[in-house]
Structure 1
């Protein structure tokens, strides 16, 4: 009887250890940053019109040219993201305008109709500056400048969007249950992928170290 009790106790302890290790493994996975760009080519990305607006220069995506959008369509999360942290290192040249779309979906041409745009703009004539949640929470202040690398960090959890520029929170927005939008607007948190924007031929922007951390 004592042997059976000891055996049961050992099995129970082994199961407990296994559960703890499995939980640690899951937590480690949830806390892992995953690269979306290999620094060499655009594998895992898809562009519609004006594909020549996107190229690779010194391990970064160079964006310059007519209006176009580069959508992530790789294997990570089946390129469908709901809750996540996203970050990339960015550099703008003088007068440049670009953007990072979240919760969007691929479309062949035009400005993406679904999702939010997080602005990349330090000196363009459009006054809505880097970090703005475009047309939702617009910033007039410059937190960074042209010709310098900076980090743009976007976190979406539930109906909340937080944007940080170089670790400074510049936007903290909670989407209401019934947001007021223009008729036909899909500027909503509905899940989706990411996209980088080519705005115009005079806008030159570089993106590198493009990473995502999926959240529960």
Structure 2
């Protein structure tokens, strides 16, 4: 009897481990959104005097204000980008953006700003959570990671947004306004004095 119980317990544990492994494999699939060679369907909106090019395996934004939008829209995801901003430069990593339109997009913006005149620094979720300490030096590569999931909280379904910089979790923000439900990813070219470079962009879609 004991042997049967142990066998059943072992089978159950193995089944649970298998399910967990399958779930992890399913949730752990990162899809690249930039091939290192072309803009591949990304769309610019904004000033004609703004430029988005691929150089040395990186997306480079310069010139006047504009946005660069992903081909597809996303709702629930984990999103990761490696980028750097010049000294006195300003940019933004946008998500859940509406259709491309204008020089400054709508949607959630994770700020990219080390030393710009705007004191709201990298790591901030613009208009919602503001960080004034410099977490990233100018001209230094860093990794932004963003998780955005709409799920229930106290009887209301709202976006839960978690931000990491270089693998360090900064915060989880619950947007009770439910401002943006789904949309594009986008990068911002803020002004002629700014230069943003992006060398890796990938997404893990979540249920």
TM-score interval for Structure 1 and Structure 2 normalised by the shorter chain: 0.7 to 0.9
Task: Name the structure 2 match of 1:145.
Answer: 137
Deviation at 1:175, TM superposition (A): 1.0
Task: Name the structure 1 match of 2:96.
Answer: 103
Task: Name the structure 2 match of 1:55.
Answer: 53
TM-score norm. by structure 1 comes to 0.78
Task: Name the structure 2 match of 1:130.
Answer: 122
The reply on whether 1:198 has 2:189 as its aligned counterpart is: yes
Given that residues 46 and 101 in structure 2 are in contact (C-alpha distance below 8 angstroms), is that contact kept between their aligned partners in structure 1? yes
TM-score norm. by structure 2 comes to 0.82
Match of 1:41 among 13, 17, 38: 38
| 1:141 to 1:38, Cα distance in 2 relative to 1, 3 A | same
The reply on whether 1:188 has 2:179 as its aligned counterpart is: yes
Structure 1: gaps spanning 5 or more residues: 1-16, 74-78, 180-186
Match runs of 1:1-216 below 5 Å: 27-50=24-47, 52-73=50-71, 79-113=72-106, 115-158=107-150, 159-176=159-176, 179=177, 188-216=179-207
Structure 2: gaps spanning 5 or more residues: 1-14, 151-158
Deviation at 1:27, TM superposition (A): 4.7
Rounded Cα–Cα distance in structure 1 between residues aligned with 2:163 and 2:23 = 26
Q: Pick the structure with more helix per residue.
A: 1
Deviation at 1:111, TM superposition (A): 1.6
Partner secondary structure for residue 64 of structure 1: strand
Q: Pick the structure with more strand per residue.
A: 2
Given that residues 131 and 170 in structure 1 are in contact (C-alpha distance below 8 angstroms), is that contact kept between their aligned partners in structure 2? yes
RMSD: 2.4
